[in-house]
Amino acid sequence: MNWSQLLNQVYADAIPTLGRGEVATYIPALAEVPANRFGIALVTVEGDLAAVGHAHEPFSIQSISKVFSLAMALRDGGDALWQRCGREPSGNSFNSLVQLEREHGIPRNPFINAGALVVADLLAKRRINARADLLKFMRNRVGNERLYYDERVAASEAATGARNRALAWFIKSFGNIEGKVDEVLDLYFHQCALAMSCVELARAACFLANEGIDPFTQERVLNPLQTRRINALMLTCGTYDAAGEVAFQVGLPAKSGVGGGILAIVPRKLAIVAWSPRLDPQGNSVASLAAMRSFVERSGLTVF
């Protein structure tokens, strides 16, 4: 398949949607990103790369980082995480407190904010410097030692993170955050502030398309079962409370972030990332979703 030709067609299909949606303004640093940015990149397990538009421009990956922190947590602790976090879609907003009260501080899944905070607690407990280790893990996946946390975005997250602080303390009240809340929040705010391009993010996620093996370094990142489980969670829980609709329309494991990025996996084939800052009411990028729909329709690649 001519991947570059395909992405150019997908890009053209999605361009008419660029004016739809709103940029996330509740994190001030995100509100300043030009709303007309749009890029798509894919990386295959054979090492082929295709990119179009602003695919080489770094952006704040936000909740897409939860895929990688979860991978690290599974490497560190195996199935122990599932005693503290569920695996079901939430059906509520990604930063909702409602279910935590009814379900005794056990988040529904690791991709809502509450679940990601529990994952961050697990990492912080097991590592001397989890923040540095996560950055090293991502640099190894990308092959770029200059990959960085955008400290301005992290500070913006912290300054406006009242709801996440409330979530963390609420979970702490049930004993499901074991470490220091401020350390957990610092790790969480920084992972969301990872600055990566579509190309870098697609390469970083390629192990999820290759049964857990990084095709560039040949390092086994996860075992095949762990890899399948992350892909399953991406399909059912990865795009906030629109996961069912995205599975219906796209049919690929996907994880979105309010920075406008969407990562999707075609198992045994490739990782694809689209980025555009304008979001729909569920918090997913309008143009990125349009690109994913077009990609599946034109390529025929889907898990169904």
First to last CA, the chain: 20
Catalytic site residue 63? yes
| SS3 call for 212 | coil
Q: What is the pTM of this model?
A: 0.96
**Percent of all residues in the chain with a pLDDT value above 70, rounded to a whole number:** 98
User: What mean pLDDT do residues 251-264 have?
Assistant: 98
What the chain holds in terms of domains, given with CATH numbers, is 3-299 (3.40.710.10)
Q: Catalytic residue among 10, 52, 60, 66, which?
A: 66
Q: Catalytic residue among 96, 188, 256, 286, which?
A: 188
With a cut of 90, say whether residue 44 has pLDDT above it: yes
Q: Catalytic residue among 60, 240, 250, 296, which?
A: 240
pLDDT given at position 72: 97
d(CA 68, CA 172): 23
Q: Catalytic residue among 60, 63, 69, 276, which?
A: 63
pLDDT digits 0-9 by tens, 261-296:
999 999 999 999 999 999 999 999 999 999 999 999
Catalytic site residue 66? yes
Q: 220: which DSSP letter?
A: B
pLDDT given at position 245: 95
Catalytic site residue 240? yes
pLDDT digits 0-9 by tens, 82-139:
999 999 987 666 666 778 888 889 999 999 999 999 999 999 999 999 999 999 999 9
pLDDT digits 0-9 by tens, 63-74:
999 999 999 999
Q: Catalytic residue among 258, 266, 273, 286, which?
A: 258
User: What mean pLDDT do residues 226-247 have?
Assistant: 95
Closest Cα partner for 121 from 50, 162, 169? 169
**Percent of all residues in the chain with a pLDDT value above 90, rounded to a whole number:** 88
Closest Cα partner for 269 from 300, 229, 234, 238? 300
pLDDT given at position 95: 64
pLDDT given at position 91: 67
